[in-house]
Structure 1
Amino acid sequence: MSGNRDGVFRGRAGERELLSGVLDAGTGVVLVDGAAGTGKTRLLTEFAALAARRGFEVAAAQDELDQPFLLARLAERAPDGPALVVLDDLHLAEPSTLAALRALLSAATHEKVVWLLARRHGEGADRLFAAAAQRGAVRIELRPLPDNVVVDLVADLTGGTPDHDLRALAATAQGNPGALVGLFTALDEDGQVVITGEHASLRTDRAPRRTESLLRDQLSSLSGKAKHLLQVASVLGLRFEPGDVAEMLASSTAILLPSLDEVIGAGVVTSLDDRLAFQHELVWRLVADSVPPPVRRALHREAGEMLLGRGDSAVNAAKHLLHGAQRGDVRSIDGLVAAAKAVLWNAPDAAAELAVRALELTDQASASLVHRTVIAVRALIAAGKLTAAQALAQDALSRQVSPEPAAKLRHCVATTMLLTAQHGESAEISEALLAEPDLLPELAPWVEITRMMALLSHDRRRAEEVAEAVVRNHTGSPDDVLATALAVLAAIARDAGQPAAALELAREAAQSVTSHDLGAYPQLLLATLHSGMREFAEADSVVRRARSGPSAVVTKELMTAVVQARILLQAGRIEEAAAEARCALTVAEETGHTALVAPALAVLAMVAIHTGDLPAAIEHVERYRERVPVDGIIFSRAYYQWADVLVTYVAHGLDKALALLTDEYPGLVTSGLFAEEPRAAGWFIRRAVEAGDERLAKAVVDRVERLAEENPGLRAVAAAALHARGLFDADTSLLELAAQQHRDLWARANAAEDLGVLLTTAADRAASVKALEDALGLYREIGASRDSARVLGRLRKLGRRRRAAPVRPASGWSSLDDTERAIANLVAKGQTNRQISTQLFMSPHTVNFHLRKIFRKLGISSRVELVMRSRDDQ
């Protein structure tokens, strides 16, 4: 930390001007009042030097012991010319000294002498100051510095503009410049201040021992009652209601008012609009740590009981009960359970912590043990802690459990098995539960949904039967069971190559959902279908609806992330797709969501192929190939098979890739792949032509043309059919038309490249070059480096040497692309990652990915710096 440590006179311009006027007059008495550290001594020293420069004779006492001798000398011989007499710390002077000074002041009314007298306010010399004031003495009271001056002084002391946290800590000095200097000296010794650019902030990776000692001294000066009040308040939190403190102390706010005034006046506590708060987290922690742990636990328990007793939210009480509840404390444990249930959907991690803690505190002989076990297992599933949830449920089931909680626990096990890709086991448990005559009515829908989802990946025929029966027999209003059944039928139609029917079923499914969490799959399936048709605006809108609900259940978040990743990939936003998929893969692996690992790997494999990272592509495919059967729920199995064939072709050549079609994936060409991924048709035709396999080429053309004929409203499929027929017939006009009609950049680039290759045999090669250059521009736009390199090679063979793509500057605002600049502008407006994600149709993970790139390019490390840089740029 660096800065001007002599900056204690900031904000004293008025006082200096007043003193200068008295020196101009050459006579008068100035009384300086101020608390310790307000700069009295420095003010006197500065003006003694100023007076000396103006020709004044300066007479000053060294300390209170020297004051009587100075006054005796002045009584014996008055100064010959203009003089300044400086007496500091008169609150320490002996009564005889003060009496002698009063006499001299009375006698020196007409002499050319300026008397500069200072004392610590309220600690002595009251009669002297009152008498001098009555005779017209000038009074100066050194008050606390205002907030804006404190900020300037802190900037002097640190060498940078303080951030909000540093200003909050500075507020504990109550505008006292001496206390500020002491505080920031301690922070400097602790190495707590970090300067980044022009900004100063606190670091949190080391203990501020010297600073804590200084603040502890400040707290020790408070009265016993004030300390007692602070200790109770610290248990209530960084912010607290004075009425809650009063209730905890079996008192009233009116009785506590003197102590409240004391702690506010000392700068330990500040007043907000709706409550009181500790001035800084560091002060709060010091006070909290001063309470012995057993006492702190007891106070937390009393706070939780107080909140529950008056009917407050169980969630508010839970944070205290979590720390203070004891084994067998039924009321407190019930409070934890109630809080866990209240936040289960929107804060599953907190719910899991509360529910597990309640279970730990429950006696094994308690009748509530099984009920609390069910709550804990459900909370663990919602928080994504699948292994712990399954182990806890199976442990409970190994003991004697009554039928109703046993059914709930068995369903929880079926759910964890579904999410860990044990689809057969999940379906078996679900079907057994549904066969039980006494299954709870409120549990049956959940079990039915789990069964249909498990069967979708395990037994398609049975899944279709069950889903059709649900739709056929459903009466009344739409619900989540109907929505899931329709979604299952939509997924089956998708895989059978019936895209229009799949889209209609998925729309109906999405409209039928009634819960934010259970409705995620129908909505996300609809989004994948829109994206497959390259209807990206519609897909983004559906994903945004899925994200907008209050549920933060990990499974929903993960499903949304992998769907969003593939939408981004299909839209040609490769970097964003990779970031989203990597984040989803990490969380899926950490939480044991095995069923969601394969979708993330498939997206990453496709990204790696198009960016030229062949080893990564091979690794991703090999990892998901081991997971048989692969998914089939989020994406179709055909999608994974195509990615496998594509990677095999690049890694091992044409023969091995085509062998997969015969040996492992014989139904791939006749599946619904070309409706889910229209550009795949052109790829298969190219490979068939390359292999001289007319039978394969004709099968692909027939399949995609039949899809276009059966689904006339789907423009993406129609463009794919034109593309395939143009390649098969070597028809340049059809390829040119396909390049115009394809709805995504990637397929358009493929068609333009195919057109350019076909035109190379023409007499005039200009058209070939033009088509290839169009393809190159599109590949570069989406960041497909491997495809760009291939087209550059084709152009070189035609005698055209293109420069590498223009490179953006490595740093500065000009290095930001359009997406990064849009995010930077929204950050500058104070928007959060989640708010930005909603506006730009991307996930918070993707926003964070771009933010890291922005920080790196601009050489900054925080949102605050980004705001400042943005303002400077504007």
Structure 2
Amino acid sequence: MAAHEPRCVTALEVLPVRGRSRELAVIDTLVERLAGGRGSIVLIDGPPGIGKTRLLRECGERTVSHGGRLLSATATEHQRAVPFAPLFSATLAADPPVGDADALRALGSVTDLRYWVVRELQSAIAEAARATPLMIAIDDAHLADAGTVTALRLLMAALADAPVLWALTTRNGTCGAAIRDAVQALGAGGVAHAAHLLLPPVDVVAAAGIVSDILGSSVDDSLSQLAAQAMGNPFLVIELLHGLREDNRIHFAGGRASAIGPALPRRMVTTMEKRLDSLNPMTRELVGLASILPERFSVTLLARMLDRRPAELVGAITEAVRADLLIGDEELLKFRHDLLRSAARNTLPESLRRALERESADVLLDLGAVPEDVAPQLARSAEVGDLAAVASLRSAARSLARADCSGAADIALRALELAGCEPALRAALLAENVELLIRASRFDEAEAMAARALSGDLPPQAEADIRVSLSMLPTRWPQHRAAENRSVLTLPDLAPVTRARNQAWLASTMMLDGQLAAGPVAREALEQLARLDDVETETLAKTTVAAVELATGYGRRASAICDDVMAGSARLGASSSAGQAATRYCSMVLAALGRLEDATANVAVNRAVAEAERKTSTVQLLDMIQAMCDAAAGQLGQARAAFAPHVQTVGAHDYVVADVVALTHLALVAVHLDDKTLIRHTSSAARGVAQDGCTDSARVRARCVLVRAAWYRGDLTSAVRHLGQKAPLLPLPLWPTDFDNAVLTARLAAATGDEVAHRHAGMTLDVLERENPRAPLLSGVAQYVRGLLERDVASLAGAVNTLSTAERPMLHAAALEDLGQLLRDADQRDAAADTLSQAFDVYSAHGAVGDARRTARSLHDFGVSRRIVRTRAKTGWESLTPAELRVAELVIEGASNPEVAQRLSLSPHTVNTHLRHVYSKLGVNSRTELKRVAAVKRRPTRSTRQSSGLRAV
């Protein structure tokens, strides 16, 4: 061999892994766990070129060597609009396949695709893992579609106890945040055994080892020093060696390799253009053209674009492969690295790149690609007036909206830009854009676009579509949303389905506004929808009727409607605005009925859909309903953490209905917890709502907050004054706290004899006793209210018995307490003491400090000593002290340490100490992680509902 002739570089696939001893030790542990029948998750994280794919391959090889089976796939950019593409590739493309390919693909016609796909995959993977431990490897998971990310999170949680090793790679930074958050949440929550391998640059010794492995020789300092300039990135080390080899700058002598000269090779300094210039013209053209195609492309596509037969490309493809630009990927080709693809694309003039991308989109569509696959190329390359591109982008947006509403909105916005001055087309696109922006929770953009559109001359149908979309805005108060629906009623020449949908949305906004007339309006909508095929809007109208039925005392009717809705959930398009609103209202009715398990299950399923589609507002609304369930179930700490940030919003007079929900429930939680500071804050916020609330129901509930605070202080005169004269205490829509308010009013009437309080309690009783037979919770509350008003032991005992089987422990405990007081007044001291002790036990079990202390004082009169011993958890939200929790809440809202110190009148040092304790107890290291944990904290199951942090003695 000549002195300056480089040796043949060793095939990269057989090279050892260098500089990753720690990571390999973790992988060995996980593989051993898998061989022992235990599952795990490993996320390999790092920048491009750091060696993620190589480590993933090594993990797979070690799994197979230990008797496991490898299922692998790579997520790609061009498949981001195809739901579950990498998961299907890993499972259905395996040999033998894991899962029923026909069944899973058939689910593509089901609107609520995600839930059923996850369920089918879970069953198939579990069955396969029972036969052979599995490793499921997804490379470049940061490129996966939102549906895949959500499915992975759900599957990893559901199969945590199965012998499945989930191995994922992702780039660091924001692009990999979704998959990173999912893995970290599962690990932090104790759901699964998870390892996060953040790959650092390899050290200089490892870099030198890579050089030695590639060259098949020991190396001297000259090569080691050059390799060090790659900053520990294995890919760049390899690129460096290829560049030196091309420059003929590697010298071999005496079994040792050295570099000729200290300069970097031209490959690393010049440009990809120079590298392409070294190729044959045909190869150069092929590589440049390939750079504008999807990440993985076929020879057929290349041939069509080059107007050649595939056989004519053999030489050029071979040269590109030998030049390490392209590699084979199963039956397709791709660039060896994204950096190469990007560099090659940038060698093309902008105008030529756009023209080629536009042409490639047409070819892809002609070859059978779906619009979602070519949407990115069309969006980049089409010119204004390209109506064919507009049609394809509209189709892509409609399909993508089921998986990623924000991405679909971006595509639709681009279609609008390309539509030019075609009036009818622009009007239709404007309506579609407003709807998609609202579904994507991009409300400001939607409002601005709608305002511009409505200020012009629109066809009636387009105006109606825009106004119906505006009636869905959760950032508006119900009466303002209903105004849009009423405007639609005056428009001529509308499609029947538009009128029916508008009628259903009008009914729902009237219901949220507290108008019982929403019932007839919803029934009229149902009559119109009976002649149409719109299951989602029909369900919206049904749940509106259910809410009205409940508020007027017909709980069994409301419950039956919800059962019907849940039974038909497979047909319900939960990703549509009407479908998601319907499921929220159904959950809200179930929560008010005391069917908390059903409400929680309904929330969980639909939250997964909303999360997959990145509907942040919908997720927040569902979290609010879940927090309502938490409060009703006696999970006071969780409810407090979820509701507390909204008090500041209400106090700033920039609030919506959801904030009033939070205020009402938080005020009740504060009294249960005996949190005087929180009671003061909620009362202050409630005074503003009671004076200027935008709806009657908001003002009524704000007054109930003030009544409860006055009752807590023992100020019965103020409590009666706050009660007001006219508004009903069971407003539409009913919330779980409304029954607590009904009981409080009856207590107030019994304690004071006040005529107004008696009248309110009597009106409430009329509603609660209207149906016969009654829904269980309504029956229990009716017995409770009647027992208080009539001081009837039998009625209160009946209430205790009925509420003991309900999912409302705080109401049950309150009924026990009041029954005990009535028995005491009847001189039944033993029975009274026993009943009060039962109340004390329930209060203590749920951390209701204020109620437990009050009951303990009553027991003291009987000579019975009961006390509560705080057994605070060591970790988690329940472990935080009140001071730590207040600091955490403000930090979650975005306050800095000095701002927290000022608002809580603490020293910065004290705030810092509290925050350190919060980080330690929640297992986080930063404000960002704290906010993330607050957003994804796990919800309680029935088995955890009795945990409290208090022990009764």
Does the pair score TM above 0.5?
Answer: yes
By how many angstroms is 1:500 displaced?
Answer: 3.1
Q: Which runs of 5+ in 1 are unaligned?
A: 1-89, 94-118, 124-141, 178-186, 188-193, 817-851, 863-874
**1:92 counterpart letter in structure 2:** A
Q: Write the deviation string for residues 300-348 of structure 1: whole angstroms up to 9, x where unpaired.
A: 4344343234342111111122233333344333332332233234422
1:201 and 2:198 correspond: yes
Number of residue pairs matched by the alignment: 668
SS at match of 2:865: coil
Distance 1:464 1:198 in 2: 53
Distance 1:393 1:683, change over 3 A: closer
Residue of structure 2 in register with 1:86 after alignment: none
1:154 aligned onto 2:65: no
What are the equivalent positions in structure 2 for 1:411-810 lying under 5 Å apart?
Answer: 411-413=468-470, 415=471, 419-421=474-476, 423-424=478-479, 426-457=481-512, 460=515, 463-470=518-525, 476=531, 479=534, 482-504=538-560, 515-516=573-574, 517=576, 518-543=578-603, 546=606, 552=613, 557=619, 559-578=621-640, 594=656, 596-611=658-673, 612=675, 613-618=678-683, 621-622=686-687, 625=690, 628-630=693-695, 642-643=704-705, 645-647=707-709, 649-650=711-712, 653-663=715-725, 665-668=726-729, 677-693=738-754, 696=757, 700=761, 703-704=764-765, 707-708=768-769, 710-728=771-789, 735=796, 738-742=799-803, 743=806, 744-757=808-821, 770-791=834-855, 800=865, 802-810=867-875
Checking the alignment, whether the CA contact within 8 Å between 2:793 and 2:822 is kept in structure 1 is yes
- Residues 1:312 and 2:369 aligned together: yes
Letter in 2 for 1:753: E
Deviation at 1:201, TM superposition (A): 1.1
> Where do 1:3-18 residues align within 5 Å?
none
1:766-821, CA deviations, whole angstroms, 9 ceiling, x for partnerless residues? 76665445434433443434434544555667562635222333489x999xxxxx
| 1:831 equivalent in structure 2 | none
Name the CA distance, whole Å, in 2 between partners of 1:382 and 1:570. 30
Q: Does the C-alpha gap of structure 1 residues 543 and 200 become closer, same or farther in structure 2, counting only changes over 3 Å?
A: closer
Checking the alignment, whether the CA contact within 8 Å between 1:235 and 1:300 is kept in structure 2 is: yes
* Cα offsets for 1:384-412 (capped at 9, x unmatched): 23332233233233334444434434444
Q: Secondary structure at the match of 1:363?
A: coil
SS in structure 2 of the partner of residue 804 of structure 1: strand
**Structure 1 counterpart of 2:426, from 348, 369, 377:** 369
What is the distance in 1 between the residues matched to 2:650 and 2:296? Answer: 37
> Cα distance 1:247–1:784, how it changes in 2: closer, same or farther (>3 A)?
farther
1:80 alignment counterpart: none
Give the percent of matched residue pairs that are identical in Structure 1 and Structure 2.
22
Other structure's SS at 1:164 match: strand
Partner of 1:391: 448
- How far the C-alpha of 1:251 sits from its partner, in A, is 5.1
Distance in 2 (alpha carbons) for counterparts of 1:781 and 1:257: 75
Contact persistence 2:844–2:868 (CA under 8 A): no
Distance 1:171 1:854, change over 3 A: same
TM-superposition CA deviations, 1:55-99 (whole Å, max 9, x none) = xxxxxxxxxxxxxxxxxxxxxxxxxxxxxxxxxxx6529xxxxxx
The whole-number CA distance in structure 1 between the counterparts of 2:756 and 2:423 is: 72
Contact 2:628–2:736 at 8 Å: present in 1 too? no
3-state SS of paired residue (2:496): coil
CA distance in 2, matches of 1:627, 1:230: 67
2:869 maps to a residue whose letter is: A
Paired with 2:921 and 2:346, the residues of 1 have a C-alpha distance of 39
Q: Deviations over 1:154-181 (max 9, x none)?
A: 226999869534598455998999xxxx
Deviation (angstroms), 1:349: 0.7
- The equivalent residue for 1:164 is 44
RMSD of aligned residue pairs (Cα, Å): 5.3
Aligned partner of residue 519 in structure 1, secondary structure: helix
Report the AA paired with residue 430 of structure 1: N
Report if the CA contact (8 A) 1:384-1:554 is conserved: yes
Say whether the 8 Å CA contact 1:172–1:267 is kept in structure 2: no
Residues 238 and 277 in structure 1, CA contact (< 8 A), matched pair in contact too: yes
Q: Please, which runs of 5 or more residues in structure 2 have no aligned partner?
A: 28-41, 59-170, 172-179, 181-186, 188-193, 202-228, 244-266, 269-274, 881-916, 930-953
Q: Is the 8 A contact 2:431 2:462 kept in 1?
A: yes
Deviation, structure 1 residue 357? 2.2
Aligned to 2:3: 92
Residue type of the alignment partner of 2:843: Y
Residue 17 (structure 1) aligns with: none
CA contact (8 A) 1:355 1:372 kept: yes
Whichever residue aligns with residue 358 of structure 1, its letter is A
Q: Secondary structure at the match of 2:198?
A: strand
- Between the aligned partners of 1:626 and 1:324, the Cα distance in structure 2 is 56
Structure 2: which amino acid aligns with 1:704? L
Q: Does the 8 A contact of 1:427 with 1:455 survive in 2?
A: yes
Which structure has the bigger radius of gyration?
Answer: 1
What code does the residue aligned with 2:507 have?
M
* Structure 1 residues 403-448: Cα deviation after superposition (integer angstroms, max 9, x where no partner): 44344344445x26x6443555554553453344422334222222
- Cα separation, partners in 2 of 1:455 and 1:367, compared to 1, 3 Å: closer
Following the alignment from structure 1 to structure 2, what is the Cα–Cα distance between the partners of residues 244 and 585? 58
Match of 1:14 in 2: none
Report SS of the residue matched to 1:739. Answer: helix
Offset, 1:380? 1.7
Offset of residue 285 of structure 1: 5.6
Measure the CA separation in 2 of the matches of 1:574 and 1:735: 25
Deviations 1:189-212 (A, max 9, x none): xxxxx9x999641479xx997748
Pair 350,167 (structure 1): closer, same or farther in 2 beyond 3 Å: closer
Deviation at residue 577 of structure 1 after TM alignment: 4.0
Secondary structure (helix, strand or coil) at the match of 1:460 reads coil
Counterpart CA distance in 2 for 1:364 and 1:651 is 67
For 1:638 and 1:708, the matched residues in 2 are separated by: 22
Q: 2: CA distance between counterparts of 1:426 and 1:762?
A: 54
Decide which moves more: 504-513 or 562-571: 504-513
1:659 Cα shift? 1.4
Identify if the C-alpha distance between structure 1 residues 171 and 678 changes in structure 2 by more than 3 Å, giving closer, same or farther: closer
Is the CA contact 1:673–1:680 (under 8 Å) kept in the aligned structure 2? Answer: no
Pair 674,241 (structure 1): closer, same or farther in 2 beyond 3 Å = closer
Does the Cα contact within 8 Å between 2:516 and 2:732 map onto a contact in 1? no
Task: Report what 2:120 is aligned to.
Answer: none
Report if the CA contact (8 A) 1:464-1:488 is conserved. Answer: yes
CA shift in 2, pair 1:310/1:574, >3 Å: farther
Q: Distance in 2 between matches of 1:540 and 1:213?
A: 51
Task: Assess, with a 3 A threshold, how the Cα gap between structure 1 residues 735 and 436 changes in structure 2: closer, same or farther.
Answer: closer
Instruction: Report deviation, 1:707.
Output: 2.6
